[in-house]
Structure 1
Amino acid sequence: MTTPTPTIAVRLFAGAAAAFGADAATVPARTLEELVAALTADGSAEAARVIGRSSFLVNAVARPDLSHPLADGDRVDVLPPFAGG
């Protein structure tokens, strides 16, 4: 039996929101890596670049490991590099 893919609420900030074209999204993802792939699959090259360099908070906790698992009800904040970082 296959477990359904969790639905994740995403908030994008600053340059990530500008490049993505929205400040919020809902995507199916089991890991942060899948979430990044879902956000960048149909987006622009700029969105892929900015989101790919961003930091991620899962339920307000920094998660640098893209293999971090996600569950239904999780909220992920996408924080782009600031001040040229």
Structure 2
Amino acid sequence: MSTAGPGDAVETPHDTDQRPATVLVRYFASARAAAGVETEVVRVPPSASVADVIGHLRTAHPDRLPRILDAASFLLDGIAVRDLTRPVSDGAELDVLPPFAGG
């Protein structure tokens, strides 16, 4: 029979990989104006999706940003996001691209 002593490390289920994921959000054009910042770091649960990050942004910037997020496109690590349930990983970059006018 073995027992853990005072100096022994004991791993518990909540000790493994439960740290929040850090996502760098970059805003462009009107999204930047609505958020009031060019970039920000968002911390989300390790199992978070793009939709979870967007939900956080809506809460953090409730005045003008939600309307822009409704029409925006998103890039996750440089790749267009079509499925907002796509998971984000620690260290990911999420670009918020509002609709652009042009021809």
TM-score normalised per structure 1:
0.87
Shift of 1:75: 0.7
Paired residues in the alignment total: 84
Note closer, same or farther for the CA distance 1:15–1:41 as it changes in structure 2 (3 Å cut): same
Shift of 1:5: 2.6
Q: What does residue range 1-85 of structure 1 map to in structure 2 within 5 Å?
A: 1=13, 3-29=18-44, 30-83=48-101
RMSD: 1.6
Hey, which bits of structure 1, 4+ residues long, moved more than 3 A? none
Distance 2:84 2:72 in 1: 11
The structure number with the bigger radius of gyration is: 2
Distance 2:51 2:20 in 1: 13
1:55–1:78 Cα contact (<8 Å) kept:
yes
Unaligned runs of 5+ in 1: none
Identity of aligned residues (%): 35
TM-score normalised per structure 2:
0.73
Shift of 1:26: 0.7
After the TM superposition, which of the residue ranges 12-21 and 51-60 deviates more from structure 2? 51-60
